[in-house]
Structure 1
Amino acid sequence: MTLEMRELKGDDLFTLLSIVGKLDIKEDFIALFEQNTASAEKVVPMDHQNKKPTKAELGKQEETRIKEEKEAEKRGMEAMAGLLQKVLMNAGKLKKDINSLLSDLTNTNLKEIESLGLKEYTGLIIALFKKPELADFFSSIASLLQ
């Protein structure tokens, strides 16, 4: 059985906050976003330069931008992997909340979620962690915690 997952919406905030609260990951969020802020401070905006860059300088800037984007993406993936690990390690505490959220996101009943095979169930959890809206949620939470 393949379940389609809808986008996260505002009402999902309360379930997500409950899950995050039970994970006790405040320090993880702060460390992640301090790291991202530190790397963002190195960037010099193009409009703050005095002269027009040469083709060589433009090429170098593009290489730097691509490298920094890859580094930020890697840090983001590492953070999401760490959060997924915490969710899985705390599955007992979070079972009811996670199943409820998955049920709501897939427009199925709780019994169907609970009876999914291991592959389908973990696939749903991974799909949830890959949602761009979830990254937005984590960014918002991190900014509140600083």
Structure 2
Amino acid sequence: MTNKLTDEQIKAAELKKAEKNTKIKERLLGYKMRELQADDIFKIIEIVNILNVADLVTEFLKQQDAAKIKSQKMQGLSVIASQSDDNKKESLTDQIKTIQQDISSQSFEYVSKAAKFVLVHSAEIKTELNGLLADLTGKTPEEIGKANIVTYSLLVKDFFVKPELREVFELLS
């Protein structure tokens, strides 16, 4: 019975993740962000300079790397668990849950810190950030400013996790 429960838990987690991804896609309907281009670097540097966020960006990149490593470990444990006996499967499932909780708490802590920082400095970057997001999505800054708050947050998040942005920050630091 433990095998079935564990399999059901794994399937429930996969379903929950798929539902979350679907909701995110629905929120971003009509907002497709293009790849960053050379001219975007000047807008990015302007925002970074206004906020003086080099340390925050470096911390974000480290956080993202740590989460990727933990996710890969979690996936490996899931594969091993699916091929293990009941006792070992239960132990591996506990390890997976601990990793998920760790990633979640670290992500929440970082997002809270970043959100507080952005809110404190929002008046300083609103125009530049909305202009950059508008340029990247083919919308106007006014449309970006009037977007649903969840959509806006997802756009900001999507911008900051762009692989090419990471490479730019690594070059600048």
The TM-score, its normalising length taken from structure 1, stands at 0.59
Higher relative contact order (CA 8 A, sep 6+): 1
Q: What are the Cα deviations for residues 49-80 of structure 1, in whole angstroms up to 9, with x where unaligned?
A: xxx96531232122212321232133123212
Moved beyond 6 Å, runs of 4+ = none
Q: Which residue is equivalent to 1:127? A: 154
Greater helix proportion: 2
Check whether the contact 2:36–2:136 (CA below 8 A) recurs between aligned residues: no
Q: Which residue is equivalent to 2:96? A: 65
CA distance in 2, matches of 1:101, 1:18: 11
1:124 shift after superposition: 4.3
Q: Which residue is equivalent to 1:4? A: 30
Q: Which residue is equivalent to 1:23? A: 51
CA distance in 2, matches of 1:27, 1:58: 41
Q: Which residue is equivalent to 2:121? A: 90
CA distance in 2, matches of 1:85, 1:8: 27
Structure 1 runs not aligned, ≥5 long: 47-51
3-state SS in 2 of match to 1:70:
helix
Sequence identity percentage? 15
Cα RMSD, aligned residues only: 4.2
CA distance in 1, matches of 2:64, 2:31: 31
Q: What are the Cα deviations for residues 21-55 of structure 1, in whole angstroms up to 9, with x where unaligned?
A: 43233334555637974x95xx6x77xxxxx9653
1:8 shift after superposition: 4.9
Number of residue equivalences: 133
Matches within 5 A, 1:18-57: 18-31=46-59, 33=62, 37=66, 54-57=85-88
3-state SS in 1 of match to 2:161:
helix
Structure 2 runs not aligned, ≥5 long: 1-27, 78-82
Out of 82, 94, 99, the position equivalent to 2:130 is: 99
